[in-house]
Amino acid sequence: MTALAKPQAAEALGSVSSVRKHYLEALNLVERLHRQLLDVIKDELDRRDEREINSVQALLLFNVGDQELTAGELRTRGHYLGSNVSYNLKKLVEGGYIHHERSESDRRSVLVRLTRKGEVVRDMLRELFDRHLGSLEAVGNVGTDNLESLNTTLKRMERFWIDQVRFRL
């Protein structure tokens, strides 16, 4: 290696090391933020004395929203694991939060939609997230520009990971 190439190689290694540090930090933050969101939802369920369901199930109800979906669509849209969706849907049906019926067009598929009881939980989370919006910038110092940048970056990461799996990169 020439004397000129050594500083360039060291600089490149430093750059890779910096990217690695930030990438691993981002991975850790994404994982921690999801767990923290579930803790925030659990706290709200506790405050409302809703003890029949857990935070994962409440978030699933929120993600169903006003739609009628199949379990498969919930898996792909909500990014839940298959067994996780099946277990939680079963519990939510048993608890009266979700109505399910076989699809007329595909008897193998089960369509799910919220019952009135499920809509109450969905609305509870809507109110919670709306409350957050009221103080996100003032208290959390997170504004529109921050959220736009964050969402753009997260979408790029999602696309990157999808491509890693799809194209076996």
Above 70 in pLDDT, residue 3? no
Q: Give the domain extent around 15.
A: 5-166
Of the candidates 48, 70, 71, the residue with the CA atom closest to the CA atom of residue 122: 48
Mean pLDDT of 80-87: 79
Contact 32, 15 (CB under 8 A): no
Contact 57, 51 (CB under 8 A): no
**pLDDT digits over 130-160, tens only?**
999 999 999 999 999 999 999 999 999 999 9
Above 80 in pLDDT, residue 104? no
Contact 62, 125 (CB under 8 A): yes
Domain CATH number, residue 110: 1.10.10.10
User: Environment class of residue 74 by beta-carbon count within 10 Å: exposed (0-12), middle (13-18) or buried (19+)?
Assistant: buried
Number of domains comprising the chain: 1
